[in-house]
Amino acid sequence: MAAYGLYSHIASNKRRSVALLIGLFFLIYLMVFAGALIGEGFIMDHLPFEQIVGRAWRDLIVAFPFATIGTAIWIAIAYRFHQAMIDALTGGREVTREEQPRLYNLLENLCISRGIPMPKLKVMDSDALNAFATGLNEQQYSITVTTGLIKALDNDEIEAVLGHELTHIRNGDVRMMVIAVIIAGVVAFFAELFFRMFFRSGGSYRSSSSSSSDKKGGGAAAIILAIALVALAWLLSIVVRLALSRSREFLADAGAVELTKNPDAMISALRKIEGRGELPGATSAVMEMCIDNPREGFADVFATHPSVDRRAEALVKFAGGRDPGPLVPPAIEEEEPGALPEPQTPAPASDAGQKPAGPWNVPLPTGAAAGSMSDPWGGRQN
């Protein structure tokens, strides 16, 4: 029943995510309508407000296919180049088993234990403790880990972090987030463009509207409505991105525990990462994809991730883990790439028995068992 409940939550999250993405497309058309209001408000400011709105609505119908095609082209470009742009921002580089044997083996063993393709493994040179997954399809999926996280966490904790990011890929969260960032980027781009153009031409509009004030047209009201719609679209695009990001983190934590059978390692990893994940130079879109985002908005309303306290509490309640409270990673001296430090033990073994062995002890899927996995990246495994 526990597994059924987890996969039911995953399916429900996917349905909500699709609905939210449809909502983002609606925001693009809302922006087009606001632009039509602006144009009609400036040109036909002598007409009554109702007529200006009607003309703007007809403009939206005419522009609808062009807006759809333009958005599709934007998504296609981002689909092809988004990974290169993220790597350029973060400095992530792909590594091999020879360069990072410890990290590579941990990820490979997790993938072997579930019979799923192994994503690309990348390392980012940063003292921050963080990791994130990106990609839109099996050929693009990758997991990026900072060098600071590799040094500060032991094998079990790193395995939990990799399991967390691998779960994002398996659940389709990464694809959803990338598409959401792309579409929200369209809304933010045109919102900024609109406000820049409006404030630069505001003086000329005020002078023209004052000279024709005797006409008592509805241009001013139409423009005020357009400003409100643009601001609303921009705000809702942020809210949708936050909703997608927050809802997926609890499920990814649970998925990591399902992969590793070690809730204590997931909790201790989160406690060590807590507040130490700021990636210098990374955009807010990249930070939203990370396992922890220390950037918070006003009164935590615009925080993209649940707090570590809430995530640890959920793992204690539903996975039987133990929360050691806030942790400070031990100071680790510089070591050669790929070196295997002595594993640390964040918590004593439970009374019920010792900690479960890592996934490298799980037999490889062969024969019919391996062949039964028709869609290794999605849904429940056989």
The pLDDT tens digits for 229-263 are 888 888 887 777 776 666 688 889 999 999 999 99
**93-94 and 120-124 beta bridge pairing:** antiparallel
309 membership: H or E segment, kind and range: helix 308-319
Lowest-confidence segment of 105-119, 164-178, 351-365 by average pLDDT: 351-365
Is 351 among the domain residues? no
Is 342 among the domain residues? no
Burial of 236 (C-beta count, 10 Å sphere; 0-12/13-18/19+): middle
Residues 194, 34 contacting (CB under 8 angstroms): yes
Q: What average pLDDT score do residues 354-377 get?
A: 40
pLDDT grade for 373, boundaries at 50, 70 and 90: very low
**3-class SS of residue 121:** strand
Smallest CA-to-CA distance from 319 within 263, 237, 246, 248 is with 263
Name which residue leads in pLDDT, 231 or 152. Answer: 152
Mean pLDDT of the chain: 77
Q: Which residues pair with 377 in a beta bridge?
A: none
129 to 145, 161, 269: CA distances (angstroms): 8, 11, 10
Catalytic residue among 165, 249, 274, 288: 165
**3-class SS of residue 127:** coil
Range of the domain at 21: 2-329
Is 165 considered catalytic here? yes
Q: What average pLDDT score do residues 282-298 get?
A: 78
d(CA 146, CA 135): 18
Is 89 among the domain residues? yes
Is 148 among the domain residues? yes
| Rama region for 376: left / alpha / beta (φ>0; ψ in -120 to 50; rest) | alpha
Strand segments, DSSP code E, in 31-135 are: 93-94, 120-124, 131-134
Is 381 among the domain residues? no
Is 341 among the domain residues? no
Name which residue leads in pLDDT, 36 or 240. Answer: 36
pLDDT greater than 70 at residue 315: yes
The distance of Cα 290 from the centroid of its chain, to the nearest Å, equals 7
Is 348 among the domain residues? no
What's the confidence (pLDDT) of residue 192?
73
d(CA 210, CA 89): 48
pLDDT greater than 90 at residue 166: yes
Is 131 among the domain residues? yes
Q: Residues of 338-351 as b/e, b for ≥16 C-beta within 10 angstroms?
A: beeeeebebeeeee
Structural domain count of the chain: 1
Q: Which residues pair with 134 in a beta bridge?
A: 142
pTM score, whole prediction: 0.70
